[in-house]
Amino acid sequence: MTRMLACSDLACCLIQVHGHKGVQFQNWAKTYGCCPEMYYQPTSVEEIREVLALARQQNKRVKVVGGGHSPSDIACTDGFMIHMGKMNRVLKVDKEKKQVTVEAGILLADLHPQLDKHGLSLSNLGAVSDVTAGGVIGTGTHNTGVKHGILPTQVVALTLLTADGVLLECSKSSNADVFQAARVHLGCLGVILTITLQCVPQFHLLETSFPSTLKEVLDNLDSHLKKSEYFRFLWFPHSENVSIIYQDHTNKPPSSSASWFWDYAIGFYLLEFLLWTSTFLPFLVSWINRFFFWLLFTRKRENSHVSHKIFTYECRFKQHVQDWAIPREKTKEALLELKNMLEANPKVVAHYPVEVRFTRGDDILLSPCFQRDSCYMNIIMYRPYGKDVPRLDYWLAYETIMKKFGGRPHWAKAHNCTRKDFEKMYPAFPKFCAIRERLDPTGMFLNTYLEKVFY
């Protein structure tokens, strides 16, 4: 039963908790937004407890938000919103264990220089670092590398504040069942307060990209996976063109082949204009994909730097994305079916690239890589000058193919799955649901996105 506040407690909370009305939240891609009833930026655990107490008293829902990069409505609410941006400290660095404990609101972009000072790095990172530590584990952020798991596999401990204001210390040796669930928590188990991450000694990476064909990379996939620790490839739809990307440890000094003219004048400004033009003339998309491959991806390029500067990329375009994980052995079959679908439906157009990455299996209950090595197949449709482009036929066909091959959608991305789908996809789904219902019996941390997942 939900614990109620005495009147004097409520009055105290009303005095101490400073929320804001009329704040509009919008994700980075400007694809989803909401107007929470109250917006809070707490600076301490006690302030969060007070917000939760008010929510219990007034029967309000609560959503915690970090960097706002998820291209879906997973962080949206019309209730109370807690932004963790002011709880962003590095709390402890254990150089002997190579571990760092941080508040959940710290941006990875701010954590990297702190780790640099101690000669440490995270062993793997996603493409974006303007995301919070709590948000990264909430949605199962990933990169690539068959020896590496999704980013939450680097978490060795965390603290969680439940709907009733109870603080749980979670690790493999303490509240192990909650820990197994909370490393991909979807924001529905409570408020993640602190996270302890396993680091590695600081290292540099050499990134090498070079052109290939879809047939070559799929026929020699195992060879590519063995050649490079962080291997990925980009396929350019409506063509056979592929750009292969190797990232590997190096002792080479920092160097870059970046060029403002090619990366921005051509790779951003010209591309955005042509993509906008293609909204009126869709047949141009296949030409654009082939033209930009020829223009930007037909020569070998090398860049080297400290690891986090190679792992992360600058997102220049607002975009719609889908990203599903399928069993790794299904990579070739699924990608060829996607290619055949586009060839059979010339009115369905697809922007470049389709990004293909690989990840080691894990034991996190709602990880898309739960109990299997996986291939992530990311599709994208840009929004040139903020304009939405027709994508629903592409989206539906892609989802159909991903489901056929046992796919599981990235939790941060928009998808059309329901509880019935997730019950089939995840062997541990009932276990996660039981933990969620135990920690949040009244559904304080649910929203529209999560209702589709759990009901």
Burial class (CB in 10 A: 0-12, 13-18, 19+), 118: middle
Query: Closest Cα to residue 271, out of 257, 292, 287?
Result: 292
Tell me the fold of 90-201+419-454: 3.30.465
Q: Is 442 left (phi over 0), alpha (psi -120 to 50) or beta?
A: alpha
Q: What's the token pair of residue 81?
A: 């919103």
Domain locations along the chain: 7-83, 90-201+419-454, 204-409
The span from the CA of 421 to the CA of 429, in Å, is 10
**Under DSSP, is residue 93 helix (H, G, I), strand (E, B) or coil?**
strand
Measure the CA–CA gap between 392 and 323, rounded to whole angstroms: 15
Bridge-based pairing of strands 80-83 and 62-65 is parallel
CATH topology of domain 204-409: Vanillyl-alcohol Oxidase; Chain A, domain 3 (3.40.462)
- Rg of the Cα atoms in the chain: 22
Q: Exposed, middle or buried, 42 (CB in 10 Å: 0-12/13-18/19+)?
A: buried
Q: Is the peptide bond preceding residue 211 cis, with omega within 30 degrees of 0?
A: no
Q: Which fold has domain 7-83?
A: 3.30.43
> Residue 4's pLDDT is what?
33
pLDDT of residue 5: 35
CA–CA separation, 380 vs 394, rounded Å? 10
| Residues of the chain falling short of pLDDT 70 | 1-17
pLDDT at 17: 59
In this structure, the number of other CB atoms found within 10 A of the CB of residue 412 comes to: 24
Nearest-5° angle of CA 226, CA 231, CA 237? 125
Q: Side chain identity at 78, as an amino acid letter?
A: D
Amino acid identity at 414: A
Pairing of strands 90-94, 99-103: antiparallel
DSSP, residue by residue, 237-261: TTSSEEEEEEEEEE-PPPB----HI
What pLDDT is recorded for position 317?
86
End-to-end Cα spacing for the chain: 21
Instruction: Tell me what pLDDT residue 160 has.
Output: 98
Amino acid at 124: N
Find out whether 406 and 326 touch, Cβ atoms under 8 Å.
yes
Looking up tokens 């922007």 gives 351
The C-alpha atoms of residue 268 and residue 262 are separated, in whole angstroms, by 9
Instruction: Label the pairing between strands 38-40 and 80-83.
Output: parallel
What distance in Å separates the CA atoms of residue 101 and residue 134, rounded to the nearest whole number? 12
**Could you give the CA distance from residue 415 to residue 418 in angstroms, rounded to a whole number?**
9
- DSSP for 371-429 reads TS-EEEEEEEEE-GGG-----HHHHHHHHHHHHHTT-EE-TTS-----HHHHHHH-TTH
